[in-house]
Amino acid sequence: MTEKTAEKAEKLQVEGIIKNDKVIIYNKNGIEEFYNNSYIGTLEEDEESNEILILEPIEVLLLIERHRLLLWEENDKNKEQLNFQIALQYLAQFDERLWQKYIIYMDLRKRGYLVRTGYGDGIDFRVYKRGADFEKDAAKFLIYPVFEGDPIELKDLDKISRVAMSSRKELIVATVDRLSKAIYYSVKKFQILNKEESAEVEEDA
């Protein structure tokens, strides 16, 4: 056994239950490892008030890629175990932009940021400064993914920037280039207003 293989074997592997586009973790050690130690997933309670961990699609992909999460087709161990590609294919039916979003998510994590999913209004990620505690600290950035073939209108960007400003967070527009590299653009409210005002001045002239 190689050193790399031995390292993988020592890491906790946890079984999950697929439910539509989410995965549920019931294992207490898994909840401790993923949520408390890695800030992955959302804590909830089941019908019997037992603590469970809900994983979003990008979190599922992350844990499968790291060989930490075990899933089976139709939650049946007699059927095929899901690897990264199979899991991506299954989850992509719920979000056709999942792969691009995953590239952004992984890039941010590799940069050392704490990334949480979901915020609403098209904002897919909340990003906390390095070393932050997401249960106590406020997010510093809001990430709005925009992809080729799906342009964003100025009025929508204006609306989203207002959301960021009202919550005292910086809005970042993220995209993925043709080389699958994540690119980020900082957006500030006054910059959008200046562009609108400039356009009005040109029209009046």
Read off the DSSP letter of residue 75.
Answer: G
Q: Report the chain's mean pLDDT, rounded to a whole number.
A: 85
Q: What is the pLDDT of residues 73-102, one digit of tens each?
A: 999 999 999 999 999 999 999 999 999 999
Q: Where are the domains of the chain?
A: 3-91, 98-201
What pLDDT does residue 10 have? 63
Top pLDDT among 13 and 162 is at: 13
Top pLDDT among 168 and 20 is at: 20
**53 Cβ neighbours under 8 A, 6+ residues apart:** 24, 25, 30, 31, 34, 35, 41, 42, 43, 44
What pLDDT does residue 3 have? 43
What pLDDT does residue 59 have? 97
| CATH (residue range 3-91) | 3.40.1170.20
Residue 4 confidence (pLDDT) above 60: no
Is 158 in contact with 140 (CB distance < 8 Å)? no
Residue 196 confidence (pLDDT) above 60: no
HEC readout, 95-133 = CCCHHHHHHHHHHHHHCCCEEEEEEECCEEEEEECCCCC
Position of tokens 């006054």? Answer: 190
Compute the radius of gyration of the chain from its Cα atoms: 20
Structure tokens at 159: 């609306």
Q: Determine the average pLDDT of the residues in 47-65.
A: 95
Residue 191 confidence (pLDDT) above 90: no
Q: What is the pLDDT of residues 105-145, one digit of tens each?
A: 999 999 999 999 877 778 899 999 888 888 888 899 999 99
Q: What is the pLDDT of residues 7-34, one digit of tens each?
A: 444 689 999 999 999 999 999 999 999 9
What pLDDT does residue 164 have? 83
For the entire predicted model, the pTM comes to 0.81
What pLDDT does residue 189 have? 55
HEC readout, 146-180 = CECCECCCHHHHHHHHHHHHHCCCEEEEEEECCCC
In the CATH hierarchy, which top-level class contains the domain 98-201? Answer: alpha beta
Nearest residue to 125 via CA among 137, 140, 136, 112? 140
Secondary structure class of 47 (helix, strand, coil): coil
Q: Determine the average pLDDT of the residues in 51-67.
A: 97
What pLDDT does residue 92 have? 97
